[in-house]
Amino acid sequence: MQSSIIVFYIVIHLSVTASYSADSGTPALTFLPGKQVGKIETNLITEASGIAASRKNPGVLWVHNDSGSSAVVYALNTEGKLLTCCSIEGARCRDWEDIAIGPGPDKKIDYLYIGDIGDNKARYPSVTIYRVPEPNITPNGVPMDMQIGPAEAIELVYPDGPKDAETLMIDPLNGDIYIISKRKVFCRVYHVPCPQSTQKQIRMDRVAELPWALAVGGDISPDGKYIIVRSLSHASLWVRQKDRPLWQAFRQKPLNIKLMPEPQGEAICFDADGRGFLTVSEKANQPIYYYAESKESKKPDN
């Protein structure tokens, strides 16, 4: 039954985005087919649910496991070699589903945001985003353990009842938080403006819908111009319009991108330059794929 539901969602994704891609409003961007650039070497990562490319530490990728794990994020290089295991003080892992990098209280530094947002049965009254300053990582040498934090906990409540979600994104231009639900026929987009309180619950605003279902990961490019969200087999890309809120981009028709076959692909992120994106799947020792922007791409005027 579960497999038939997934197939149904994939068919919706393909049919809807395929019709959208013929529209003149579609982003004039193209990407080369995915190329394997690495492979997760460590057996500590068996359910890579989220990935983020560091801007502070060149060549470093942040990855974390799914539910049932400890509150740890892993720094890898793009070849998949483990660099550092970072235990996060003050955080707990109920069902971590995505990770993002963005601004925070101190505008001079980057923060890691980890989304404890999974809820398969839609039964939790709130979800938590953990925010912690991104540490410095040494790209060479023997893998090491590190404790970071303490993390700040941002507790969020949906305006329309509990949801299962696997997509967390941070707007690099203003620090706004975006969460995208997973299990509706059309995934719902929720927004929390910056600054976010860490002292009380925050009610999210429902601001948009995707034209398909089963969103399992997403990211915003470092310059804030592009949004990419993936399903198990495909991704969609939107362009942010100049001087408009990011969420209004979802009103446009996206570019549909076919992804490399993965056993349970959920993680996706732009690279540090925003010139391409990376994906990785759950399961042990999975390949890391990179999708470079094609030279034929045409950048928008904004």
pLDDT at residue 40 tops 70: yes
Q: Where are the beta strands (DSSP E) in 150-253?
A: 152-157, 165-170, 177-181, 188-192, 202-203, 205-209, 217-220, 226-230, 234-239
For range 193-219, the mean pLDDT? 97
For range 175-202, the mean pLDDT? 96
Q: For the whole model, what pTM was predicted? A: 0.91
Per-residue confidence (pLDDT) for residue 16, from 0 to 100 = 43
pLDDT at residue 25 tops 60: no
| Topology of the domain comprising 2-292 | Neuraminidase (2.120.10)
Round the average pLDDT of the chain to a whole number and report it: 90
Per-residue confidence (pLDDT) for residue 27, from 0 to 100 = 65
DSSP 56: S
**Given strand 276-281, what is the order of strands in its sheet?**
35-39, 287-292, 276-281, 265-270
For range 122-129, the mean pLDDT? 97
For range 71-79, the mean pLDDT? 97
Q: How far apart are CA 73 and CA 219, in angstroms?
A: 17
Per-residue confidence (pLDDT) for residue 69, from 0 to 100 = 81
The answer to whether the beta carbons of residues 130 and 99 sit under 8 Å apart is: no
CB atoms under 10 Å from CB of 4, counted, come to: 8
Tell me the pLDDT tens digit for each residue of 227-281: 999 999 999 999 999 889 999 999 999 999 999 999 999 999 999 999 999 999 9
